[in-house]
Structure 1
Amino acid sequence: MTQQAETPRTTTAGEWWRSAVIYQIYPRSFNDGNGDGMGDLPGIIDRLDYLADLGVDALWLSPFYVSPQHDAGYDVSDYRDIDPRFGTLEDFDRMRARMAELGMRLIVDLVPNHTSSEHEWFRAAVAAGPGSPERERYMFREGRGEHGELPPNNWRSVFGGEAWTRLPDGQWYLHLFDSTQPDLNWENPEVWEEFRSVLRFWLDRGADGFRVDVAHGLVKAEGLPDWDHQVHMVEGEHDAREHDEPDTPMSTGSPYFDQDGVHEVYRDWHRVLAEYDGDRMMVAEAWVEPAHRLAMYVRSDEMHQAFNFDFLVAGWDWARLSRAIGDSLAESAKVGAPTTWVLSNHDTVRHVSRFGLSDPIAYPKGIDAGSEQPDHAQGLARGRAAALVELALPGSAYLYQGDELGLPDHTGLPAELRQDPAFARTGGEEIGRDGCRVPLPWAAGEPGHGFGPEPWLPQPEAFAELAADRQVGVPGSTHSLYRAAIALRRELGLGRGAFAWHEAHDAATGLLAFVRTTEAGQRVLVAANLGGAPVPLPAGELLVASREDAVADGALRPERAVWVRLTA
């Protein structure tokens, strides 16, 4: 299936990232170009016209570097080459050239907190022994106890288990994630210089920006003190009877996350990006709270964006969404940064599935066959409404591949097929992220639903009805809704302009309502009904609705959203 691209979008304006719609590609699951079961760069090239037709401004590619793939490429063994599973540097260059023709920017993933244990630096460190300069590149320490037999402190891995592994020579090394992902020592100038070089390598090759993995990591508290808490990649489900907030992967108080020293790193990188033309940018993956802590990452001399995870974890809840939107906009404005909205990514249960659970603010750590099964109809209705909220907010919006198709998680994956290290390290206590990483369905009835033969993870049968060839150009489909909303967002300039809550914004009715006043002076009401009964809407011109039946007798039905051009 090939789509003819329309006129390339205008991303040449200054600071394009302030209002861009950016599409995340998880390369191994996007499109298989050579039939080996794994998505790759040639497969991405084959679908670029589809993405241009959808209307996105830029693509973010999860890691494609050389890697043993113990953590799906977030264990990098060579930052300057393409893993053969995904293609070659020549394929990268062809992809970037075609993207330029279509008017799309490119953001590449950068993993600076840790390397793979197969990286040449770590191999050299193991070989060199204690006290060597090679070991100073990582976090090696002597153990505690009479013979150093105990870990240097009590830190736990984000993926479960201890955060330390002991080598045969007696020293321990820190790995906040998998044992094959040793943490780098950001007190070592050699590490700083290496990453400046990596940045320049990809900037010279046409990268427009970087998504920085674990951006709140890198720097650890002096002395590596014990900490009696645990940060998980995806925390447990919320129990509304016991807590006011759902458990989330936030890292408040952690001695290994959100240390003030990380900001010096990003000021340094900001200066590197400033050497290049074209408004190069960085976006932080920083699971931190409260909002003012996140805003520190996007001060004028640091990052350009930071994912708004408060918005992502707010669930289908009027109060939490309202607070996430209001607080985020207020704190970002204080530092002159855009707010960056996101509903799903490769680390979270897809929002269509989260919204289909009985608890409206549930944030599960994966869903399997033994878990509550999401109500797909409910989740899709709420997901489509939430998409209209996200795409109407000022700032930048990130879409995860398959959002535009309304894809749910694969909740029936058998345990023996799961590959997430968090599943293995916790003995299955954390179901993990495989369910949101299942390959995309492109064509119903074809092998792998059009992804390619024998996908690396099996797809659910339900994907057939959600395949792209069943939705592209089909009125009322989720794809058509996203495409129309993105086009209208661009036409109206909703990525920029003023924001204000509308007088109809009301906890009692559950109506989330705000007005966007565009730079051209148009006033657009954005309304989503999170309550249980229809709510009257003010008079105006209906621009787009999450469902054809969204409005009846002048009232917005539950689990629906609209954009309305106000006439008064």
Structure 2
Amino acid sequence: MSAQLVTAGTAAGQQPWSRPAPAQEQAAEQPWWRSAVVYQVYLRSFADGNGDGIGDLAGLRARLPYLSWLGVDALWINPHYPSGGADGGYDVVDYRAVDPEYGDVSDVEALVADARQLGLRVVLDVVPNHTSDRHPWFQAALADPDGPEASRYHFAPPSEEPPNNWRSLFGGPAWSRTPDGRWYLHLFAPEQPDLNWRDPVVAEDFERTLRFWLDRGVSGFRVDVAYGLYKDAGLRDNPGEYSPTLFGHGPEQAMTWNQPEVHDVWRRWRGICDEYPDTMLVGEVCLADLDEVALYSRPDEMHQSLSFRLLKSTWQTAAFTDAIGSALEAFGRVGAPVSWVLGNHDKDRMVTRFGGGETGLSRARAAALLLLSLPGSAYVYAGDELGLPQAHVPDEAKRDPIFLRSNGERAGRDGCRVPMPWNATSGVGFSPAGAARPWLPVPAEWRQHAVSRQARDSSSVLSLYRQALAVRAEHPALGTGEATVSSRGDVLTVRCTGGGRTVRCVVNMGAESVLVGSRGRVLLASGPGVHSSARSVALPPDTAVWIAGD
């Protein structure tokens, strides 16, 4: 028999999410964030409400019923602050305001209120490692080298060479000159000067920022570059050579990242969140050592730190097994849940990473079931639920500083930031009719991926995500339970237990069909061709299945 579940049809002309389902109840015994499915909204590319070709808060607010219909628990919004525009909003000018392109503070308040009515929580992005070079502090520091603002950044006196060998993650040296000849530090783009967290004014100002947004009802923050902030006090050279696989994440940058003092910041921030019930912090901690990543989620620090090992794994049983097993062990040692990630605004889309075309799509569907079976929280990047591939963006349209600073040697991240396709019109419904062109060009073939089409197709990627989220909500073994991972040949198995029940996620990562021994009931499969009998399940290549029972 087929293991594919079928969703109910929708009346013609009616949006399938126009009457959202009731909010999912959270288990009383654990905080919501421990097992939440968090939907990442790249605000500029999600939905354009005013027709200027740029996604905004009004557009997002209008699409909240879609997120409720989909079945996620919360949404994380990439930076909405006034920005210099050098790095997709991650060069912030004012942390307690909203960029006029996106709306204003009242729009955030209205968004939070609407989301709450739909049972959704709102998590904002906060960027504490660096500001924009247009930030008032940096402008004052440029004007007066001896003023108090200068100590809030890393400046070095004029000299022929930079103060050390530190490199920017976006390419080139991490030091640039000011007009008066001084050097200043930027571990990302030159327009993003790094803050000096050894100045107490920096910490005090960010604590005011947290309270500003928490007072407006947000449920927490995703912390950008949470492994950064503090640098070696003596600005000593990094000991290692450039590594394309570990650059910025391993011992070759021991003086720039993961300094011990940074953990005190998260203890202070945790104390602030503890004053606001049901709020949380989740850190972007891009370190090669998962044991080090997990330390950021100790009971008195951040609630979560994102685990990126799956995001960086190739489609191989050994790689996935190690990524899952090592994360469960590392986070388990500090008593924290794992926050799983398979896609985000910094990485090529899953479909493309896993081979592209139908092969990549089948693997991405299987990976979705694997992601949503694992204990802990799952972060889903907008558009992954549509099976979007990496978009081709012409060089002349690219905006990413990685592409620009490398003189085109690195493709950059624009291809995973192209606007969402909502319907099959020429503008894919991203903006109102007659609006300006989208800020990044949308491929014509993306009409086939539109939400409006997939919502009415029970075999679509979107329907698979919705079905999986519904099944996950019904089965305590998924998301909230405990898990063990094992592999045999090309077959990976995650055994999840919780609430006295067991669900296995079995993934065939090979090129041939396999027969999986099982007396359990098939709950959901990632693709067609799955058949079950009294004692086994036939599993095609690049396919995953959820099986209830041992």
TM-score by length of 2: 0.93
Residue from 92, 113, 121 that aligns with 1:105? 121
Q: Does 1:497 align with 2:481?
A: yes
Name the amino acid aligned to 1:140: F
Specify the alignment match of 2:412 in structure 1: 432
**Partner residue of 2:70 out of 50, 54, 61:** 54
Residue 367 of structure 2 corresponds to 386
Tell me how far apart the structure 2 counterparts of residues 263 and 444 of structure 1 sit (CA, whole Å): 48
**Structure 2: how far apart are the matches of 1:136 and 1:560?**
55
Pairwise CA RMSD: 1.6
The Cα shift of 1:450 comes to 4.0
Q: Which residue of 1 aligns with 2:6?
A: none
- How far apart, in 2, do the equivalents of 1:80 and 1:308 lie? 29
Structure 2 counterpart of 1:137, from 124, 140, 152: 152
Query: CA offsets per residue over residues 508-564 of structure 1, 9 Å max, x none?
Result: 2x1001211122x11111100012222212222110000122347732111000001
Distance 1:468 1:456 in 2: 20
Q: Could you tell which deviates more after superposition, 216-225 or 250-259?
A: 250-259
Name the residue aligned to 1:326: 325
Separation in 1, partners of 2:246, 2:359: 23
The equivalent of 1:171 in structure 2 is 182
State the 1:94 CA deviation: 0.9
1:271 and 2:271 matched: yes
Aligned to 1:473: 456
Matched, 1:482 2:481: no
Question: Which of these residues, 427, 430, 441, is aligned with residue 458 of structure 1?
Answer: 441
* Letter aligned with residue 194 of structure 2: D
TM-score (norm 1): 0.90
Equivalent residues, number: 525
Q: Distance in 2 between matches of 1:512 and 1:491?
A: 23
Matched, 1:30 2:61: no
Q: Find the counterpart in structure 2 of residue 372 from structure 1.
A: none
Q: Partner amino acid for 2:23? A: P
Distance in 1 between residues matched to 2:162 and 2:248, nearest whole Å: 24
Query: Which residue of the partner structure matches residue 90 of structure 2?
Result: 74
Could you tell me whether the CA contact under 8 Å between 1:534 and 1:555 is conserved in 2?
Answer: yes
Write out per-residue CA displacement over residues 446-467 of structure 1, whole angstroms, 9 at most, x where no aligned residue: 4244445411101112211000
Q: Deviation at 1:226?
A: 1.5
What is the match of residue 187 of structure 1? 198
SS at match of 1:447: coil
Amino acid of the structure 2 residue aligned with 1:348: K
How far residue 3 of structure 1 moved from its aligned partner, in angstroms, is 3.0
Deviation at 1:321, TM superposition (A): 0.7
Q: Corresponding residue for 2:256?
A: 256
What displacement does 1:431 show? Answer: 0.6
**Paired position in structure 2 for 1:416:** 396
Residues 157-186 of structure 1 deviation map (CA, whole Å, 9 limit, x = unaligned): 111111111112221110111111110001
Q: Deviations over 1:375-418 (max 9, x none)?
A: 321111000000000000000000000011001111x3111100
Which SS does the other structure have where 2:90 is aligned? coil
After superposition, give the CA deviation of every residue in 1:23-47 in whole Å (9 maximum; x if it has no partner): 0000000000011000000000110
Q: Deviations over 1:177-209 (max 9, x none)?
A: 111111000100000101111111011111111
Q: Which residue of 2 aligns with 1:534?
A: 513
1:337 — aligned with what?
A: 336
The amino acid across from 1:219 in the alignment is Y
Aligned equivalents of 2:290, 2:174: Cα separation in 1? 28
Deviations 1:265-304 (A, max 9, x none): 1111111111112x21111101102111111110000011
Q: Relative to structure 1, is the Cα distance of residues 491 and 231 closer, same or farther in structure 2, using a 3 angstrom cutoff?
A: farther
State how far apart, in whole Å, the 1-side matches of 2:248 and 2:452 are: 36
Match of 2:161 in 1: 150
The match for 1:96 is: 112
Contact 1:24 1:60 in 2 (8 A): yes
Maintained 8 Å contact 1:248/1:313? no
- Cα distance in 2 between the residues matched to 1:456 and 1:10: 38
DSSP 3-state at the match of 1:287: coil
Determine if contact 1:106/1:208 at 8 Å carries over to the other structure: yes
Tell me the distance in 2 between the aligned counterparts of 1:18 and 1:487: 18
Q: Tell me if structure 1 keeps the 8 A contact 2:524–2:545.
A: yes
Contact 2:324–2:485 under 8 Å retained in 1: no
Q: Secondary structure at the match of 1:462?
A: helix
> Hey, what's the Cα distance between the residues in 1 that align with 2:242 and 2:151?
26
The aligned counterpart of 1:361 is none
Q: How far apart in 2 are the matches of 1:287 and 1:383?
A: 23
Match of 1:516 in 2: 496
Q: What is the SS of the residue equivalent to 2:89? A: coil
* Contact preservation (8 Å) 1:9, 1:104: no
With over 3 angstroms needed to count, the CA separation of the structure-2 counterparts of 1:104 and 1:256, relative to structure 1, is same
Given that 1:4 and 1:50 are in contact with CA atoms closer than 8 Å, whether structure 2 keeps it comes out as no
Structure 2 Cα separation of the partners of residues 281 and 530 of structure 1: 35
Question: 1:247-270, CA deviations, whole angstroms, 9 ceiling, x for partnerless residues?
Answer: 676333411111111111111111
Secondary structure of 2:378's partner? strand
Q: Residues 231 and 312 (structure 1 numbering): CA distance in 2 closer, same or farther, change over 3 Å? A: farther
Distance change (3 Å), C-alpha of 1:513 and 1:114: same
Q: How many angstroms apart in 1 are the aligned matches of 2:298 and 2:286?
A: 17
1:107-132 CA-partner distances (Å, limit 9, x unpaired): 10000000001111111111112x33
Tell me whether 338-347 or 532-541 shows the greater mean CA deviation: 532-541
- 1:108–1:209: 8 Å Cα contact kept in structure 2? yes
Match of 2:225 in 1: 214
In structure 2, distance between residues paired with 1:39 and 1:92: 14
Query: C-alpha separation between the residues in 2 aligned to 1:248 and 1:456?
Result: 30
Cα deviation code 1:104-156 (max 9, x no counterpart): 11110000000001111111111112x3321001011124xxxx121111211
Residue 81 of structure 2 corresponds to residue 65 of structure 1: yes
Which deviates further from its counterpart, 57-66 or 543-552? 543-552
Which deviates more, 555-564 or 218-227?
Answer: 218-227
Residue aligning to 1:396: 377
Deviations 1:295-338 (A, max 9, x none): 11100000111111111111211111101111110111111100
Distance in 2 (alpha carbons) for counterparts of 1:424 and 1:325? 35
Partners in 2 of 1:9 and 1:298 — Cα distance? 26
Conserved in 2, the CA contact under 8 Å of 1:420 and 1:434? yes
- How much has 1:500 moved relative to structure 2? 2.3
CA distance in structure 2 between the aligned counterparts of 1:230 and 1:36, rounded to whole angstroms: 45
Cα distance in structure 1, aligned partners of 2:45 and 2:451? 14
- Seen in structure 2, the aligned counterparts of structure 1 residues 11 and 207 have a Cα distance that, compared at 3 Å, is farther
Cα displacement string for residues 451-487 of structure 1 (whole angstroms, at most 9, x for unaligned residues)? 4541110111221100000101321110010001011
Q: What's the counterpart of residue 227 of structure 1?
A: 238
Q: 1:496 to 1:268 in 2, by over 3 A?
A: same
> Aligned partners of 1:450 and 1:418: how far apart in 2?
19
Using CA pairs under 8 Å that are at least 6 residues apart, name the structure with larger relative contact order, 1 or 2: 2
5+ residue gaps, structure 1, are 236-245, 357-374
